[in-house]
Structure 1
Amino acid sequence: MSISRRDFFSIAFVGAIFNACKKEAQTVNEETPEYPSDDILSARFNKKLTIGEHERLVFVGDSITWGHRDAAILEPNKGLGDGYVQEIARLLASKSMLKECAVYNRGVSGNTTKDLLTRLDKDVISLKPTIAVVLIGVNDLRHNFKPEEFYYNYNNILKNLQEKVPGVKLVVCEPFILSNMEGYSGYLPVFTEYRRQIRKLAKEVGAIFVPYYDAFFHALQTAEAKTLLYDGFHPTPAGIKIISNKWIEYCSFHK
């Protein structure tokens, strides 16, 4: 069967398009992340933090952790502020076997992951924590940190803790925002990527992961955003209880 010159070029053109599409599909598959977005965002994290007697817990992060703490007080269990760290310390102290635990609040208002990485040795590692709790990310969002920069800083925070404090138990707390945050819709795509990155990191380093975003989303079924987070990210008293209770939910207690 003979093929006209016109048909020959038509067939060649279609073949070229097919091969190009095939190559593009292969490239996309090769670049697919280890944890597809829908899987990692819906993954269940069941690992719990084992807390025993005489633990040294250091909570670190931004203003959400800071909670108006008294930075002049360096001793444990004092000057913890009026936020979730104080509430968790109260809940721990209510368990008789944990009265000897030392709780430190090293949150600093306005901190980004970059800021935290800079002060990590002085404010956290020097305390030789047995448990390090990290909740940070909202200021990275507000300062337009790209997801890869967020990942780089956060990864270095966790790796430094593991390398410089052998045996430390890491607790990675998911950052959260709600729809009453100014600029929420514009921030949401990047914030969603932050959530993917932080969940991936928790898996990679074997940390306990506390899914706060899910906890607040669930609470929205029966409450307005402003009753949980004043401005979309700073917690109200009701929000503090959500943070504290969810944290305790991911703990198991042993003598």
Structure 2
Amino acid sequence: MTITLRPGTTVMFTGDSITDCRRLDSEDGLGFGYPLRIAGEWGLRHPDRPVIWLNSGTGGHKVRDLEPRWQADVLDARPDVVSILVGVNDMGWHTLDPEGRVIPVEEFQAGYDRLLAPLAEAGTELILIEPFLLPIHGVVEAGDVRVGEEERKEWRADLGPKIQAVRELAGTYGAQLLAADRMFAELAATTAPEHWAEDGVHPTPAGHAALAAAWLRLVE
């Protein structure tokens, strides 16, 4: 079942830098990525059904970073729909916590579950977007990190179970799942992966457009 966006529906996008996309520098607070594209395309298709679009994504954030700001940034807005994209910072390059340990998938999933539980209790509709990693070749810069293919193989090994955790949570909560990792893998099979995300993590304009188009297929 798709999610119906009625006139006056409030949609909250949240997560990490992919959602943030310089939102604080944008006039409407939506940033310059897929949330803006979704809002624009929806307005074009449905001028008779205006929607309130909000963005609280924050660059670099992991699941554990979302938790302390969840009440103020998400729950207090009382959104009707919450769309979450988080997890890429919980893998390889960002997984060390202050004690120097890697974040295990069980901790990732439990923290994510704590974010979803109060939304489900409030009857909020949920859209969970899989974190993703494209198979870029050679050495690239991802944020302030230079990595090669071997490091990215390690990232993939760490991210895979966390993608599965997001899928399981979507099933548990009856959420819409945007299978972004699968989508980008299919796109990268016929077009250079750099076309969609130059560093394998942060989408290009084409990558943001692909996310927006997939998201809009989940609503009506």
Asked if these proteins are the same fold (TM beyond 0.5), I'd say: yes
Distance 1:113 1:71, change over 3 A: farther
Question: Structure 1 residue 168 and structure 2 residue 121: aligned?
Answer: no
Deviations 1:9-58 (A, max 9, x none): xxxxxxxxxxxxxxxxxxxxxxxxxxxxxxxxxxxxxx422222110000
CA deviation vs aligned residue, 1:226-253 (integer Å, no higher than 9, x gap): 111121110001101110001011112x
Distance 1:161 1:71 in 2: 28
Q: Secondary structure at the match of 1:134?
A: strand
- Among 136, 140, 154, the residue aligned to 2:90: 140
Q: Residue 231 of structure 1 corresponds to which residue in structure 2?
A: 199
Q: Which residue of 2 aligns with 1:39?
A: none
Match for residue 119 of structure 1 among 66, 69, 72: 69
> 1:225, CA displacement in angstroms?
1.2
Are the aligned partners of 2:25 and 2:31 in contact in 1 as well (CA < 8 Å)? no
Aligned-pair distance for 1:213?
0.9
1:62-105 Cα shifts (integer Å, max 9, x gaps): 000001111797xxxx121111111011011111222x210001
Q: Aligned with 1:220: secondary structure? A: helix
1:191-218 C-alpha deviation (Å, 9 max, x unpaired): 1101111101100011111111111011
Following TM superposition, by how much is the alpha carbon of 1:151 offset from its aligned partner in structure 2, in angstroms? 0.3
Q: Hey, what does 1:110 align to over in structure 2?
A: 60
Is the 1:178–1:184 contact (alpha carbons within 8 Å) kept by the matching residues of 2? no
Aligned twin of 1:194: 162
CA distance in 2, matches of 1:118, 1:162: 18
The separation in 2 between residues aligned to 1:185 and 1:160, in whole angstroms, is 35
TM-score by length of structure 2 reads: 0.86
SS in 1 for 2:48: helix
What residue ranges of structure 2 are gaps of 5+ in the alignment? 96-102, 137-141
- Report the aligned-residue RMSD: 1.5
Question: 1:173, 1:212 within 8 Å by CA — same for their partners in 2?
Answer: yes
Partner of 2:139: none
- TM-score, normalised to structure 1, is 0.75
Q: Which amino acid aligns with 1:57?
A: V
For 1:217 and 1:179, the matched residues in 2 are separated by: 8
Runs of 4+ in 1 over 6 A off after TM superposition: none
2:98 paired residue number: none
**Equivalent residue for 1:63?**
17
How many residues align structurally?
199
Match of 1:49 in 2: 3
**Structure 1 letter corresponding to 2:47:** S
Of stretches 111-120 and 141-150 in structure 1, the one that deviates more from structure 2 is: 141-150
Matched AA of 1:205: Y
Kept in 1: contact 2:26–2:32 (CA 8 A): no
Identity score, percent: 30
Superposed displacement of residue 143, structure 1 = 2.4
Q: Distance in 2 between the 1:53 and 1:203 partners? A: 28
Mapped to 1, the partners of 2:26 and 2:199 lie a distance apart of: 28
Query: Which runs of structure 2 are paired with 1:172-251 in the superposition (5 Å)?
Result: 172-180=128-136, 182=147, 183-251=151-219
Give secondary structure in 2 for the equivalent of 1:132. strand
Any stretches of 5+ residues in structure 1 without a counterpart?
Answer: 1-46
- Assess if the C-alpha contact under 8 Å between 2:18 and 2:202 holds in 1: yes
